Amino acid sequence: KQEVTQIPAALSVPEGENLVLNCSFTDSAIYNLQWFRQDPGKGLTSLLLIQSSQREQTSGRLNASLDKSSGRSTLYIAASQPGDSATYLCAAINNFNKFYFGSGTKLNVKP
């Protein structure tokens, strides 16, 4: 069974800092890895999808990389802003058509 782990569980940084969130998965036979943002009491907003043939995806200040062989993905957030404060979840999907989620990294960006 796929196990997805996210480190750190929580992170507090001053505004403007660049930061990296880590995601690791045990089964490298994944099709996709997707990063989500979750605000308190809300749904999951898709940030970036990396397909297994890709190594990275970029959207604005966000960059996600994928290294299947080592079972790792990172989400890089440049020039963090208070509005980036949320929980960030990564999820890996394998050939059984279901996503396995990590526990998330709770990010607090201080003004």
Partner 1 sequence: EPEVTQTPSHQVTQMGQEVILRCVPISNHLYFYWYRQILGQKVEFLVSFYNNEISEKSEIFDDQFSVERPDGSNFTLKIRSTKLEDSAMYFCASSTEGSTGELFFGEGSRLTVL
Distance, in Å, from the CA atom of 49 to the CA atom of 56, rounded to the nearest integer, reads: 9
Q: Which stretch binds partner 1 (CB under 8 A): 13-21, 27-35, 62-70, 74-82?
A: 27-35
Total residues contacting partner 1 by CB under 8 A comes to 26
Exactly one of 22, 32, 63, 74 binds partner 1 (CB under 8 A); that residue is 32
Whether the upstream peptide bond of residue 8 has omega within 30° of 0, thus cis, is yes
Q: Which residue's CB is nearer to partner 1, number 40 or number 111?
A: 40
The interface mask with partner 1, positions 36-75, x = CB under 8 A, is x----xxxxxx--x-x------------------------
* Strands annotated E in the chain: 4-7, 10-14, 19-25, 32-38, 44-51, 56-59, 62-67, 72-77, 86-93, 99-101, 105-110
Exactly one of 22, 31, 62, 63 binds partner 1 (CB under 8 A); that residue is 31
Largest CA distance in the chain: 43
Residues in the chain: 111
Q: Using CB under 8 A, list all residues that contact partner 1.
A: 31-32, 34, 36, 41-46, 49, 51, 89, 91, 93-104
